[in-house]
Amino acid sequence: MEEGFEFSRKGKLSPRFTKPYCILKRVGPVTYQLELPPVLDHIHDVFHVSMLRCYYSNPTHIVPVEEIEVRPELTFEEELVQILDHDVKVLRRKFIPLVKVLWRNHSTKEAT
């Protein structure tokens, strides 16, 4: 599987690659035809190897669908589980309260 690049968004902070796509066949010595979804049917499906990156499967990339409740308008709500820590950041003349929060469906490493 190869990862294709992002076609829609432009900008410095936008992701460079999208999800993995299966290779259908090798077209030439340095070109491959990918199996693109119907959403990208306006894109030519043959790519040069310089535009592709090899994808290595990682179990942390898989998100169980049943754990996420997606609303019809394609949004979801995070639920607070526990406040892990709190602190006060002192600037010159300001005091900023900070709180470390554990969210539902996230590990303690992902606490914000």
42, 23 contact by CB (below 8 A): no
Average pLDDT over residues 9-23: 71
Average pLDDT over residues 38-59: 83
Q: Which residue has the higher pLDDT, 15 or 31?
A: 31
Question: Per-residue pLDDT for 31 more than 90?
Answer: yes
Domain ranges (residues) in the chain: 2-61, 65-110
Q: 53's torsion region: left (phi>0), alpha (psi -120 to 50) or beta?
A: beta
Alpha carbon distance 84, 99 (integer Å): 8
pLDDT digits (tens, 9 = 90+) for 58-68: 777 665 655 55
Question: Per-residue pLDDT for 69 more than 90?
Answer: no
pLDDT at 30: 92
Grouping H, G, I as helix, E, B as strand and the rest as coil, residue 60 is: helix
Question: Per-residue pLDDT for 54 more than 70?
Answer: yes
pLDDT at 102: 81
Query: What is the overall mean pLDDT for the chain?
Result: 77
Count other Cβ atoms within 10 Å, centred on residue 106. 13
Q: For the ranges 8-17, 31-40, 73-82, 84-93, which has the lowest average pLDDT?
A: 8-17
